[in-house]
């Protein structure tokens, strides 16, 4: 009896000591324990996503990929699998499992090391949120105390929801929602029992037991999970057998990028980091851009297709590499496939290795697509590149172009029919890692172009950027040529100079002498002789024709009529940086330098009737719960009953110190900041008050300038009676629309090629050139292999840039009815003589109707007897206006 009493006393003492020890440990570590109440309002680190305005995913930024799901969205099979595998007494304990701890303790005694874990799901959650993974006793004690606190604070459902969303599961995926996408490319709710078991087995060793790293290990671990589910009676024997027999088919699935707009994504990323700091990467923000997915895809295809076309007509520069030469041991198929996997993919271009060459075909191995064929039609373009101005003879057989063992570039022959390619190329492989059966794609020999391109389209009514292509490929070069490349604009500047002339009092019928100029430059000791391109001259010519046909000498004379300083001041109202505009007559020929988006911004003033809009990219930012954190409020065009600032008089707007005036000074409007993401005026954009675009040009001047830009496309006169003529932009006639207009641009020696133009509700700019500002775009001769429909001769805006604009507009204007011409008030239309621009009573082919600002129309009638003597000869070498 005494023994029993002593035993009870001893047990009581041990229990009290145990309780005391626990309390002692608790108060010892209490100061170091985190506040678990923060779990009530925890915000899981979720990547930032960038979308188009119509909800297409453009990019995802952030180290941790996570797709949060609620408890109700968790498949019951996953909960069962986790409980069976990780914590079978989940619903019976209060944060830690003494039985599990005892089992782990015996394992330590037996093995001498902590080889077996005993952490409950709640303990794992505590460790993931508050502790490290180090295997120390004190960490384990803290883990237990935190787990108990969590159980007191949260329900079992809330704990399970946090666990399912928090746990790391390999390949940068955090939570089971993300893991389902990464490993299987499907939503969690759509997975099979076998696939759920694969994921449920990952917490033990996510880096080595995932199905991408090792299908064998993943299968073994899945079977363990299924066995535990069967033994715990969560599944039947039939379900077990079916799931166990299912093969694991898995590959890496990156974020499902739906739209290729990497340059826009980078603008959005930089803006978000500038506004929210590094937290932007993990706050789950949803950034909606102004990009229209249909227009972005059209711009991408048009710009890249046009650039590759330019590159092809200048010749083939040869293989990227030679992997083996004739007489050397050829690489095996496995070696070729392994080599190709290590090579980059640039957008539409994929690396390939030539395996066979016979007659007019070649057999190649294409990265991710296996063995493919290039037929003659898709390689016969490949004359040898000699210089930018010279190409070799047309090839006659495939062996004139390719040789076995060469690594080359290929692309799908039909760019219009190929999907956008994400920056991270996806390998297409079967379960055993081999290449799949060949896919039926027509492949074309290609090469990485040396030249580059930019394309941008904006809404002229509010400045929203609808599409933007910053270069050939973002992976190849992250430099954004649409917003950062300051290039000479060539003849693209002429509409702005002619608009100044209209405000100065000239009309579309004003005659300007189209004759050579010979101006002596005393400082240089040489004569300046600007020439037309082509170098033909027509004498006194109406202003409309001068702009439409891009007459260089006429532009210089118009500049002189307006005044050099007045013109430079005038151009600032379009947002152009005066410091980039030379103080010389070369400004009339496009020596000024601007970015493509600045050009689109400037042409928007003509398209919208005279209002300055500011390009912007971000329309809305939402937090993970849909709360709007930012919403753009751009300055919009308001054509009536709105507070507007009228266009200024044509006066000298320069400051007293000779510096460039701000646009505020020039237009009495709000300050026009440069289009730079770092200077994005956030506070101004988020105001609830309507914001109106300042009026910087009269509606009448904008209309008359559009008339000249219309003639750049459609020309004038009548081909039937011999008076017809074309503008330099005549290739846009294929759009068959009378509500478009634009202007070509070619710089000196053809170093830059431009086309800027508009249609209903859209303005677009296309540019092609080399990043090396000194390199010329060159010229080409006809390739006998290609037939009649090919571009030849010197590269210029109409040949080199306009095709991209036309292809884009074909898509952009599809489904939009043609708009009737809107003639503003104070514009009149009178019949004039085509040659003199004077009034006439005739109604034959020598006459035409022309638009004028009321009060500027001609007052005199043409006299038949004076027709031949109306213009005096230019004895001063062509320097006078008439």
Residue 351 near residue 342 (C-beta atoms within 8 A)? no
Residues annotated catalytic, as ranges = 86, 491
Q: Kindly report the number of other CB atoms within 10 A of residue 270's CB atom.
A: 14
Contact between 513 and 881 under an 8 Å Cβ cutoff? The reply is: yes
Beta strands in 427-538, from DSSP E residues, in sequence order: 443-446, 452-458, 465-469, 487-488, 511-514, 519-521, 526-528
Contact 809, 732 (CB under 8 A): yes
- Return the bridge partners of 861, or none: 839
Judge whether 762 and 457 are in contact, CB under 8 Å: yes
Q: What residues have CB less than 8 Å from 860, skipping those under 6 apart?
A: 838, 839
Determine the Cα–Cα distance for residues 676 and 486; give it in Å rounded to an integer: 13
Residue 447: which of 481, 408, 400, 392 has the closest Cα? 408
Helix H or strand E encompassing 60: strand 57-61
d(CA 247, CA 250): 10
Q: How far apart are the first and last CA of the chain?
A: 134
Question: What span, in angstroms and rounded, lies between the C-alpha atoms of 349 and 576?
Answer: 36
Helix (H) or strand (E) holding 460: none
- Strands (E) across 818-878 are located at 827-833, 847-853
Among 578, 373, 393, 432, which residue's Cα sits nearest to residue 496? 578
271-276: list long-range contacts, CB under 8 Å, 24+ apart.
271/617, 271/618, 271/677, 271/680, 272/48, 272/621, 274/677, 274/678, 274/680, 275/630, 275/682
Range list of H helices, 246-382: 262-276, 293-313, 333-341
Phi and psi at residue 628, to the nearest 5°? -80, 120
Exposed, middle or buried by CB within 10 Å (0-12, 13-18, 19+), for 632? buried
């Amino acid at each position: 009896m005494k023994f029993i009493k002593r035993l009870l006393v001893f047990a009581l003492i041990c229990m009290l000591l145990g309780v005391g020890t626990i309390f002692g440990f608790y108060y010892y570590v209490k100061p170091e324990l985190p506040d678990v109440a923060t779990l009530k309002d925890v915000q899981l680190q979720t990547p930032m996503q960038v979308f188009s305005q119509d909800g297409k995913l453009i990019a995802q930024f952030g180290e941790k990929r996570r797709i949060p799901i609620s408890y109700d969205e968790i498949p019951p099979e996953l909960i069962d699998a986790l409980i069976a595998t990780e914590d079978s007494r989940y619903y019976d304990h209060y944060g830690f499992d003494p039985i599990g701890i005892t089992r782990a303790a015996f394992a330590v005694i037996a093995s001498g090391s902590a080889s077996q874990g005993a952490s409950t799901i709640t303990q794992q959650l505590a460790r993931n949120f508050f502790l490290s993974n180090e295997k120390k006793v004190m960490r384990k004690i803290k883990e237990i105390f935190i787990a108990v606190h969590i159980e007191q604070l949260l329900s079992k459902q809330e704990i399970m929801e946090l666990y399912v969303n928090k746990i790391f599961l390999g390949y940068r995926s955090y939570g089971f929602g993300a893991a389902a996408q990464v490993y299987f490319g499907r939503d969690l709710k759509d997975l099979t029992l076998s696939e759920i078991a694969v994921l449920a087995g990952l917490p033990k060793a996510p880096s080595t037991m995932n199905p991408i790293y090792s299908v064998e290990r993943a299968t073994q671990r899945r079977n363990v999970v299924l066995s535990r589910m069967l033994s715990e009676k969560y599944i039947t024997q039939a379900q077990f057998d079916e799931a166990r027999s299912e093969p694991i088919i898995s590959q890496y699935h990156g974020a499902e990028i739906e739209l290729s707009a990497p340059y826009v994504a980078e603008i959005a990323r930089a803006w978000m980091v500038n506004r929210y700091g590094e937290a932007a990467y993990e706050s789950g923000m949803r950034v909606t851009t102004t990009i229209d997915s249909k227009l972005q895809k059209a711009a991408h295809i048009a710009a890249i297709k046009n650039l590759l076309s330019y590159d092809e007509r200048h010749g083939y520069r040869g293989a990227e590499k030679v992997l083996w030469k004739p007489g050397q041991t050829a690489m095996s198929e496995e070696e070729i496939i392994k080599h190709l996997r290590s090579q980059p993919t640039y957008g539409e271009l994929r690396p390939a290795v030539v395996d066979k060459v016979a007659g007019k075909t070649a057999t190649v191995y294409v990265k991710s697509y296996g063995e493919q064929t290039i037929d003659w039609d898709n390689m016969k373009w490949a004359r040898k590149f000699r210089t930018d101005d010279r190409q070799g003879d047309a090839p006659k057989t495939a062996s004139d172009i390719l040789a076995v063992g060469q690594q080359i570039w290929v692309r799908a022959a039909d760019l219009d029919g190929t999907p956008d390619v994400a920056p991270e190329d996806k390998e297409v492989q079967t379960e055993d890692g081999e290449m799949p059966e060949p896919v039926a794609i027509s492949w074309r020999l290609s090469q990485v172009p040396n030249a580059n391109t930019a394309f941008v389209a904006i809404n002229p009514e509010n400045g929203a950027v609808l599409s933007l292509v910053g270069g050939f490929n973002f992976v190849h070069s992250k430099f954004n040529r649409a917003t950062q490349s300051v290039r000479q604009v060539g003849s693209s500047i002429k509409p702005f100079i002619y608009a100044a002339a209209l405000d100065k009092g000239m009309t579309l019928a004003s005659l300007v002498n189209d004759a050579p100029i010979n101006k002596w430059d005393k400082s240089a000791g040489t004569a300046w002789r600007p020439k037309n391109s082509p170098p033909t001259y027509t004498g006194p010519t109406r202003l409309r024709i001068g702009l439409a046909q891009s007459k260089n000498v006429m532009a210089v004379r118009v500049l002189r009529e307006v005044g050099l300083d007045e013109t430079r001041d005038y151009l600032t109202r379009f947002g152009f940086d005066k410091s980039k505009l030379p103080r010389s007559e070369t400004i009339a020929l496009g020596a000024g330098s601007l970015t493509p988006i600045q050009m689109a911004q400037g042409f928007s003033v003509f398209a919208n009737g005279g209002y300055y809009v500011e390009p912007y990219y971000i329309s809305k930012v939402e937090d993970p719960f849909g709360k709007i954190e930012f919403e753009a409020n751009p300055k919009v065009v308001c054509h009536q009953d709105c507070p507007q600032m009228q266009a200024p008089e044509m006066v000298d707007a320069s400051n007293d110190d000779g510096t460039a005036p701000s646009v505020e000074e020039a237009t009495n409007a709000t300050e026009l900041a440069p289009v730079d993401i770092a200077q994005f005026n956030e506070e101004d954009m988020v105001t609830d008050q309507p914001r109106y675009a300042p009026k910087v040009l009269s509606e009448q001047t904008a209309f008359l300038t559009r008339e000249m830009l219309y003639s750049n496309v459609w020309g004038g006169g009548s081909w039937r009676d011999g008076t017809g003529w074309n503008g330099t932009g005549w290739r846009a006639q294929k759009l068959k629309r009378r509500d478009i207009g634009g202007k070509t641009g070619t710089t000196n020696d053809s170093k830059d090629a431009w086309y800027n133009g508009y249609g209903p509700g859209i303005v677009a700019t296309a540019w092609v050139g080399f990043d090396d500002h000194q390199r010329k775009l060159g010229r080409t001769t006809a390739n006998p292999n290609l037939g009649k429909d090919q571009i030849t001769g010197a590269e210029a805006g109409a040949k080199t840039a306009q095709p991209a604009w036309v292809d884009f507009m074909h898509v952009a204007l599809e489904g939009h009815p043609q708009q009737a011409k809107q003639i503003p008030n104070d514009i009149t239309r009178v019949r004039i003589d085509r040659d003199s621009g004077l009034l006439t009573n005739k109604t034959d082919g020598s006459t035409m109707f022309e638009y004028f600002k009321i009060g500027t129309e001609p007052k005199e009638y043409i006299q038949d007897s004076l027709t031949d003597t109306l213009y005096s000869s230019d004895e001063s070498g062509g320097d006078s206006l008439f």
